[in-house]
Amino acid sequence: MNKIGIYFAFWEKEWEADYCRYIEKAKKLGFDVLELAAGCLPDMTAAQRREIASRAEDAGIDLTYCIGLPPQYDLACEDASVRASGIRYVGELLKCIRQMGGDTLGGIIYSCWPGGTVTYDYKQKARERSLDSLRGLSHMAEEYDINYCLEIVNRYEQYLLNTAAEGVDFVRELDSPKVKLLLDCFHMNIEEDSFSEAIKTAGELLGHFHIGECNRKVPGRGHMDWDDLIRGLRDIDYRGKIVMEPFVRPGGQVGKDIKIYRDQSGNASEVQMDEMAEEALTFIREKLRSGGDQDGKN
């Protein structure tokens, strides 16, 4: 069965946190993976990064890393100096992840987040600039043996890659064994005609998978068609990691960036938040065991 993880920011209101604490929490709740915010890594010392990696290894928890690149590192920007800064910055992220023994960097790592409003013509030119930026970074990802997973997100957050089909065309042009796709069912629910068909479109290029409800609650507390999603993963024999990325509490930089404007946790305590995560983990594991063959959506 796939390894199941959760993003640390389910509990946090800021992108920086005591990651060692969340490694222990993930282990206690029964998760296999903890996803971290990659943007914090360059600000740490090498010793701090090694400590996090060591604590995860001792706990038997895999670490994955995700980021939406800030606009000053936009890899598709018209300004060549901004693209150059982005290439240097992502290179530093890859070096940090390599030092920590990681194998996955995902997110909006082909342009920036949020992406702003552009014209269709601008998108086509930005696509070429992004491809050019990623050619060198893909070689670094190959050298470091890190999967560079491009997250397909909805049009309101980024304009460049909104569907699995767009992502496949983009990745095939790069032609690197380490550049893959990251699909996220929150975004798929907005942009795709079918969950399972989008997953099959990605096929062997699917390198990472994010899950959550349509309103960003934990899986099982909304109306997402989980059976169709699981059927798609089964049909392509996806064996990669599946990471929950729910956001339910307002406040802080996380709430601002994700646009969480109401408390969807029900004013939950940390214990209740833990219970939500644990229930969602059980829910997804049961769906994976059934292979998406159950009647109904939840």
Reported as a single tens digit per residue, the pLDDT across 258-271 is 999 999 999 999 99
Domain 4-290 CATH class label? alpha beta
Single-letter residue type at 183: L
Residue 291 has what pLDDT?
86
pTM as predicted: 0.96
Give yes or no for residue 284 having a pLDDT over 90. Answer: yes
Give yes or no for residue 296 having a pLDDT over 90. Answer: no
| Number of other residues whose CB lies within 10 A of the CB of residue 48 | 14
| Number of other residues whose CB lies within 10 A of the CB of residue 225 | 18
Residue 293 has what pLDDT?
63
The 10s digit of each residue's pLDDT in 129-141 is: 999 999 999 999 9
- Of 188, 161, 180, give the one whose Cα is nearest residue 76: 161
Would you please indicate which residues are annotated as catalytic (active-site) residues? Answer: 151, 245
Q: β-strands 242-244, 4-7: how paired?
A: parallel
CA–CA distance, 205 with 151 (Å, rounded to integer): 12
Residue 295 has what pLDDT?
45
* Cα 118 off chain centre by: 24
The 10s digit of each residue's pLDDT in 203-219 is: 999 999 999 999 999 99
Q: What's 218's DSSP letter?
A: P
3 state SS of 65: strand
CA–CA distance, 243 with 136 (Å, rounded to integer): 28
Residue 31 has what pLDDT?
98
Residue 298 has what pLDDT?
46
The 10s digit of each residue's pLDDT in 5-33 is: 999 999 999 999 999 999 999 999 999 99
Give yes or no for residue 292 having a pLDDT over 90. Answer: no
Q: Tell me how far CA of residue 102 lies from CA of 48, 144, 249, in angstroms.
A: 15, 9, 29
The 10s digit of each residue's pLDDT in 243-261 is: 999 999 999 999 999 999 9
**Mean pLDDT of the residues in the chain:** 97
3 state SS of 283: helix
Establish how many alpha carbons lie within 13 A of residue 110's alpha carbon, considering only the half-sphere containing its beta carbon.
31
Q: For residues 143-163, give the mean pLDDT.
A: 98
